[in-house]
Amino acid sequence: MVEKKSTFETLAKSSFSPQEQLMPVSTKNHRFFIGLPKEISPYENRISLTPDAVAILVNNGHEVWIETKAGLGSKFSDKQYSDAGAKIVYSPQEVYKAEVILKIDPPSLDEIELMRSGQALISAIQLGHLQVETLEALLKKRITALAFEFIEDKVGGIPIIRAMSEIAGSSVMLIASEYLSTTNNGKGVILGGITGVPPTKVVIIGAGTVGEYAARAALGLGADVQIFDNHLYKLRRIKQLLSQQIYTSTIDTLTLSETLKTADVLIGALRAEKGRARQVVTEEMVTRMKADSIIIDISIDQGGCIETSEMTTLNAPVYKKHDVIHYCVPNVASRVSHTAATALSNIFTPTILRAAEEGGVEKMIFSHKGFMKGVYTFNGGLTNESLARKFGMKYKNIELLMAARF
């Protein structure tokens, strides 16, 4: 005879026994609505996605709207984008209806005014040029804003900075050559050296990607190259990458000051470690440099590493101070916008596809720490500690916000 279990006993076992936790399962990918506005700055020629990249996104079910003529600076026509499956729109008001806004320059106050609460913005932040009013407007609109120069990959690298740095490093020697020539009222010297003539002296501050590619170009031309950085492992690495015995040194004020007295070209390529680049070249050092020598401060987008640096544009890229030419354009890669746009697309396209697999931008933020590091405003709160210190604003730790979600 089978003994019947009491109703109470059955209920007790089902209610109080450990049960498996049911986790939500995504049934399909998120479909993005992406807007590519035309850059309002006349000196920014890059665009975030090429027509080929748009075609890939459209074929994966995403919708892309692009403002007319947005790609002309990178030599891409409206027809190319239309053929790739994008919708061409004819006003900023239309393109800013998108769920995700993908652009190069930080948004202006007028552009933020066109945005709505809950949108995601992926763009540069340009710390050296950022105004508190821009941050306040983003916070007021509750925009999820990501700075692409802070987004990291799985190994802690910053892929967009790496790509743009390779372009900038390869370009700086071409720029230096232009402004050393007589045609630009320079010293009238060739960048490099020829038989019987002492080579041009190039000093590079920063042994990162920009420094590496700048050194490659300078050495290829026959210049005398000296590299300074405070990280010994970077100095060792760059010597290995260049496969040459070149002069390297830590940043010692006395040594650097003496070296700059005879320099023809100074490249500032220090990356910011805590929000802003450290100024290691003082105004006094600049006053002792040779007349008509040139300074190219690539780190100007993060405040610059040279005290006399002031941000310039591609339209008016140089100025003279203490008889030294200064080139301080934050978007050097925009000089070769087609190449830069292709490099950006190679990074943004797989990132967008991965975010779609995760279920959207917010889920991508909280499931990928590298992507999370790009966030500086989220849900009406400032989540970047460096910006909070700079502007004296309240700061919310986004990792704590992540913990609060679960």
Residues 204-246 have pLDDT tens digits of: 999 999 999 999 999 999 999 999 998 999 999 999 999 888 9
Residue 134 confidence (pLDDT): 93
Residue 11 confidence (pLDDT): 46
Q: How confident is the model at residue 247 (pLDDT cuts 50, 70, 90)?
A: very high
CB-count exposure of residue 100 (10 Å: 0-12, 13-18, 19+) = buried
Residue 332 main-chain phi, psi, to 5 deg:
-55, -35
Residue 121 main-chain phi, psi, to 5 deg:
-125, 125
Beta bridge pairs of residue 295: 266, 326
Residue 28 confidence (pLDDT): 58
Distances (CA, A) of 187 to 190, 244, 264, 308: 9, 28, 9, 20
How many percent of the chain have pLDDT more than 90? 69
In this model, does residue 15 exceed pLDDT 80?
no
pTM of the model: 0.83
Top-confidence residue, 278 or 33: 33
Q: How confident is the model at residue 9 (pLDDT cuts 50, 70, 90)?
A: low
Residue 2 confidence (pLDDT): 47
Q: What is the mean pLDDT of residues 313-322?
A: 92
CB-count exposure of residue 58 (10 Å: 0-12, 13-18, 19+) = middle
Q: What is the mean pLDDT of residues 130-149?
A: 93
In this model, does residue 27 exceed pLDDT 50?
no
Q: What is the mean pLDDT of residues 254-264?
A: 94
d(CA 389, CA 273): 14
Residue 402 confidence (pLDDT): 66
Q: Could you tell me which residues come within 8 angstroms of residue 111 by beta carbon, excluding any fewer than 6 positions away?
A: 37, 40, 92, 96
Provide the CB-side half-sphere exposure for 157 (13 A, CA). Answer: 11
**What value, to the nearest 5°, has the Cα angle with vertex 295 and ends 291 and 299?**
165
**26 closest CA partner among 399, 379, 372, 367:** 367
* pLDDT tens digits, one per residue of 264-287: 999 999 887 665 667 899 999 999
d(CA 115, CA 101): 9
d(CA 169, CA 181): 20
All structural domains of the chain: 33-148+336-404 (3.40.50.720), 162-330 (3.40.50.720)
The answer to whether the beta carbons of residues 263 and 232 sit under 8 Å apart is: no
Residue 1 confidence (pLDDT): 47
- Average of per-residue pLDDT values in the chain: 89
d(CA 216, CA 210): 10
Q: How confident is the model at residue 200 (pLDDT cuts 50, 70, 90)?
A: very high
Q: What is the mean pLDDT of residues 42-57?
A: 94
Amino acid of residue 112: I
Q: How confident is the model at residue 357 (pLDDT cuts 50, 70, 90)?
A: very high
Q: What is the mean pLDDT of residues 321-334?
A: 92
Residue 376 confidence (pLDDT): 94
